[in-house]
Structure 1
Amino acid sequence: MKKLYYAAHTYMIIGLVGGLYYREITKLNDFTGDSQLGLVHTHVLALGMLFFLVVLALEKLFTLTAGRLFNAFFWTYNAGLALTVAVMTVRGTQTVLGQHTPGAATALAGVGHITLTVGLIFFFVNLGRCLTKADTAASTPA
């Protein structure tokens, strides 16, 4: 459970720092347009902090960490989110600074999203198995 708490807490810090970075770099460069940098703050807070707080609550109810796929979910999801946010930050910063973003960055963003999706598949399969175990245990007479 501590691992989930630390993940949520880390993403809270990264999300807040991302929002501060967005505000300051756009102000320093008199940038008023749209960039991916403006989405980093909300992506990290929603997909990182809030998601792991929900997983923490589900862990308390269904002991998700006991499932065979929990570690696969945890590390795959985190890798996907880290890659996605890193690419968004780089591309957004380049936009604010008026630099061209190479096509490889777009491909990396796609890899990040695919990795996030695989992590979510692991999560839901693990959750489904834990729910089945909980239902079986609840319906079995003591």
Structure 2
Amino acid sequence: MSSFRVMRCQPLAREAGSVKKPLNHLLVSAFVYAGLGVASGLFYREFTKLNGFPEGAFTQLGLAHTHLLSLGFFPFLILLGLERAFTFSASRKRFGWFLGLYHAGVILTSAMLIVHGCLTVLGLESSAMISGIAGLGHMAITAAIIVLFLALRTAVRGVERPAAVAA
């Protein structure tokens, strides 16, 4: 009877303190974006109700809630697992660039959604500048994702694989 063992990829060894910082940053980021997402949903509901905006009418204000959750909260929870498995923060420069670009992009995009949505609810005219700034936020998110994939590729290539165990 032959037996086999499941081989797991082990991340490169690092000091205990340096592993906690990136994991903690990712966890805190997920928590903050979850709070911002819930708060923006509450703001949307109360602001539209306070200003007598017709229920069911479209405004970008409602999109800020889903953007903060889907681009902020969920990705950082997924990144926690990827960091734990591959320690992609080992390439410090790329990890720093990713965090800076991604946070700036999500915050800028969400802020412009809120500004544009508030103008719609108040019945004011929006300018193309707001859409342009939101576009810059989307570009920053795209650049951050590219940097993230570069860091992940480096980390996955550097994973030590344990030797196969003879039966």
TM-score by length of 1: 0.93
Q: Give the fraction of aligned pairs with identical amino acids, expressed as a percent.
A: 39
Structure 2 match to 1:77: 102
In the other structure, the counterpart of 1:138 is: 161
CA distance in 1, matches of 2:151, 2:162: 20
User: Which string of whole-angstrom CA distances, capped at 9 and with x for unpartnered residues, describes residues 39-90 of structure 1?
Assistant: 1111101110110010011101011111241111011110011110110100
SS of structure 2 residue aligned to 1:7? helix
Q: Which has the higher contact order (CA 8 A, sep 6+)?
A: 2
Are 1:30 and 2:52 counterparts?
yes
Flag the structure with larger Rg.
2
Once the two structures are TM-superposed, the CA of residue 139 in structure 1 deviates from its matched residue by 6.0
Letter in 1 for 2:84: K
- Structure 1 segments unaligned to the other structure (5+ residues): none
Q: Tell me which residue corresponds to 2:63.
A: 39
Are the counterparts in 1 of residues 27 and 76 from structure 2 also a CA contact under 8 Å? yes
Distance (whole Å) between structure 1 residues aligned to residue 25 and residue 138 of structure 2: 23
Quick one: distance in 1 between partners of 2:153 and 2:61? 35
1:113 aligns with 2:130: no
Q: Distance in 1 between matches of 2:163 and 2:150?
A: 23
Moved over 3 A (4+): none
Amino acid at match of 2:47: I
Unmatched segments (≥5 aa) in structure 2:
1-22
**Structural mapping, 1:43-82, within 5 Å:** 43-67=67-91, 68-82=93-107
Q: Taking structure 2 as the reference length, what is the TM-score of the superposition?
A: 0.80
Q: Counterparts of 1:69 and 1:138 in 2: how far apart (Å)?
A: 24
Aligned twin of 1:103: 128
Structure with greater proportional helix content? 1
Question: 2: distance between equivalents of 1:31 and 1:57?
Answer: 41
